[in-house]
Amino acid sequence: MDFDRIKEKLNILADAAKYDVSCSSSGSKRKNTTKGLGDSSGMGICHSYTQDGRCVSLLKILLTNYCIFDCAYCVTRKSNDIKRAAFKVQEVVDLTISFYRRNYIEGLFLSSGIFKSPDHTMERLIQVAKKLRKEENFNGYIHLKSIPGASDELMREAGLYADRLSVNIEIPTKSGLKLLAPDKKHEDFMKPMKKVKDEIIQYKQESKLIKSTPKYAPAGQSTQMIVGATGESDRDIMYSSAFFYKNYNMKRVYYSGYVPISTDPRLPAIGSQVPMLRENRLYQTDWLMRFYGFDIRELLNDDFQHLDMEIDPKLSWALRNRHLFPLDINMADKQLLLRVPGIGLKSTNKIIQARKYRKLNWQHLQKIGIAINRAKYFITCDSREKELKDLTSEQLKQVIIKNSQSKFRKELSPQLSLF
């Protein structure tokens, strides 16, 4: 192995791949049954964290950063003057195996610039995955990018070797896409996504009848949207997200605050701040939608198009729906408990378990670990102490903000000083 050459390629092609947020390695059911290498049947593992606090779970690289497209938001766009490089198929295979054996990674995340044609590119990605599975007997995690415009045939093959497939929609609105990526068509993104979804459904049905049916993308599909590049509203973003969850059975939609990388006048200037707080609020909304039983229309709608940056979306929703509270913690249904600000999934389960044995009071709730400073305004329990409830929602919001600490306090301060 020519280490210096590989090192240089790794530098260029890891740098170019880092704007892809997904690094998940969970949800696959690929067991090591043949005494081979690797097992991805358990939960995902983060083997390290970058200085920006993101999990490093997979070896995330591009096969090449040569690209025939010129999408304004992308670092590898054709017109960008950067160093270009390309890995050979075998080089990626060797690197993945050597890293995996040393317990650095859970597997491979392979994406690519589009060289020659979408099909040509997709074919190479598949070659890497196929080699890993067939020649190296590798059962670790493989995440492949579905290249927009790739043929159905290739997408069907890709799913046989990959655990997850993803195609990044990047721009949440059609008009934004037209503006920033005029060479790409909306349909090119949707076609591979639809093919993969259909195959997953078909393979699942078959495996019910025939147990030996091979696995097809067992960890499902995901996609990613850039936030803050085209002036879209939070409602626009979350409605497209809900659309993908519902119609394409997405496992995950990722939101990526736009990191300025271009002087293109269509985009935020270099040096403008990455909208990390907004990104965080969008993820919170995403979680409420997926795990807390919220319909997206309750959280964002025509009257309420942007999320409140000062407080989390659940608290914001609760303040708009005061008539539903207070809830009796010892009686309320699980679905309602989940809607109380300051009570999460785990606390909900603990409350439900613990209240079978005795009525819970504030001390119990504190020990269970709920965020009393927010929850106390929305619940009653087995105790005479009650919180003042004759505050308006706006007053209550200010009280809660004053009595809580936010890691985003610094970013919020210019807005807070208005009050």
Partner 1 sequence: MKEAVLKYDGSFKGFLTCIFDAYDQKLKIVEIVPAGEDQVKLFSETHEIISDELKALRVLKGLKAKISSNGMTRIKWAFLSESLGIEMKLYQMIQYIFSNKKKVDTDYSHPAVLYITNIAKQVGREKHRMEAFVRFRLTKDDIYFAIIEPDFNVLPIIIKHFKSRYADQKWLIYDIKRRIGAYYDLTKTEYVSMELPEDLGISGGNLEYFDPGEIYFQKLWKEYFDSTNIKSRVNMRLHVQHVPKRYWKYLSEKSPFA
Answer for which of 39, 70, 188, 236 binds partner 1 (CB under 8 A) is 39
Q: Which is nearer to partner 1, 192 or 275 (CB)?
A: 275
340 φ, ψ to 5°? -80, 125
How many CA atoms does the CB half-sphere of 15 hold within 13 Å?
15
Secondary structure percentages of the chain, helix, strand, coil, to 5? 40, 10, 45
Q: Give burial (CB, 10 Å; 0-12/13-18/19+) of 48.
A: exposed
- Closest separation in Å from C-beta 36 to partner 1: 6
327 φ, ψ to 5°? -100, 145
Q: Is 263 in the site for partner 1 (CB under 8 A)?
A: no
Q: Is 259 in the site for partner 1 (CB under 8 A)?
A: yes
Grouping H, G, I as helix, E, B as strand and the rest as coil, residue 135 is coil
Interface region with partner 1, contact rule CB under 8 A, candidates 53-61, 152-160, 186-194, 311-319 = 53-61
Answer for which of 5, 49, 388, 389 binds partner 1 (CB under 8 A) is 49
- Closest separation in Å from C-beta 411 to partner 1: 12
* Strands (E) located in 39-78: 48-49, 55-56, 58-62
Characterize 3-38 residue by residue with b for buried, 16 or more Cβ atoms within 10 angstroms of its Cβ, and e for exposed.
eeeeeebbebbeebbbbbbbbbbbbbebeeeeeeeb
- Closest separation in Å from C-beta 265 to partner 1: 20
Of 197, 195, 190, 154, nearest to 169 (Cα)?
A: 190
Q: Is 103 in the site for partner 1 (CB under 8 A)?
A: yes
Q: Which is nearer to partner 1, 58 or 72 (CB)?
A: 58
Q: Is 412 in the site for partner 1 (CB under 8 A)?
A: no
- Closest separation in Å from C-beta 18 to partner 1: 5
- Residue 373 in contact with residue 403, Cβ under 8 Å? yes
Q: Of residues 342-401, which lie at the interface with partner 1 (CB under 8 A)? A: 350, 353-354, 356-358, 360, 364, 367-368
Answer for which of 5, 29, 88, 101 binds partner 1 (CB under 8 A) is 101
Q: Is 55 in the site for partner 1 (CB under 8 A)?
A: yes
Q: Of residues 191-220, which lie at the interface with partner 1 (CB under 8 A)? A: none
Q: Cα–Cα distance between 100 and 386 in angstroms, integer?
A: 55
Residues near partner 1, by CB under 8 A: 1, 3, 6-7, 10-12, 14-15, 17-19, 31-32, 35-39, 41-42, 45-56, 59-60, 95, 98-99, 101-104, 137, 257, 259-260, 274, 276, 350, 353-354, 356-358, 360, 364, 367-368, 407
